[in-house]
Structure 1
């Protein structure tokens, strides 16, 4: 199994652990994209004005820097800009998900 496959499997497992209960997933769910060593987490929800429009709203980002073997952690401000989190880097993708799940400063889930 390649390193990318291992990382993607780890991401899938961690995303599954932060998804809301099945009965509310049609109103709010969590998804991800992972490409070029950048992971985005996003909410999946219907638009409040038109429920037929499904929106993906990014709220967390991790970028892997191979030369340093670290993941830098970012949160998205209300103005749409990405900002380094209070704990700006971690050594594993699991540590990133731990930070997101704890949401110590209310940056990811409000």
Structure 2
């Protein structure tokens, strides 16, 4: 993101709108929610939920990642395997913009992001 704290990052605004559209109703957000980080041109989406055996402990479980390659103007798309390793999302390994990325994640053609 921008180094200037007074600058609004357009990408972060678009990402926030997408994440807000994925969030569950407010009354269950304490049990399951969706969040994101966007640092150094890398977007990571994660599920937020209490640990099943320690409800006071909140877990962030990443399920999608995208890296912007500025020189090519492309986003590389990744999903997280059960082993914890990130792997290229083979149906659509790259997209040209955030709208395309959001579409790929929503459609989840192979069930890699949402099971």
1:29 paired with 2:36, answer no
Q: CA deviation at 1:47?
A: 0.1
Q: CA deviation at 1:4?
A: 6.7
Q: CA deviation at 1:53?
A: 0.1
Aligned residue pairs total 109
Instruction: Note the residue ranges of structure 1 that are not aligned, 5 or more in a row.
Output: none
RMSD: 1.4
Instruction: Note the residue ranges of structure 2 that are not aligned, 5 or more in a row.
Output: none
SS of 2:93 mapped into structure 1: strand
1:41 paired with 2:45, answer yes
Among residues 102, 107, 110, which one is paired with 2:112 in the alignment?
107
Q: CA deviation at 1:58?
A: 0.5
Which residue of structure 2 lines up, in the alignment, with residue 97 of structure 1? 102
Matches within 5 A, 1:82-93: 82-86=86-90, 87-93=92-98
SS of 1:58 mapped into structure 2: strand
TM-score by length of 2: 0.90
TM-score by length of 1: 0.94
SS of 2:24 mapped into structure 1: coil
1:58 paired with 2:62, answer yes
Does the CA contact (< 8 Å) of 1:14 and 1:94 recur in 2? no
Among residues 7, 16, 19, which one is paired with 2:11 in the alignment?
7
Q: Which runs of 4+ in 1 moved over 4 A?
A: none
Q: CA deviation at 1:24?
A: 1.4
The structure-2 alpha-carbon separation of the partners of 1:106 and 1:94, relative to structure 1 and needing over 3 Å to count, comes to: same
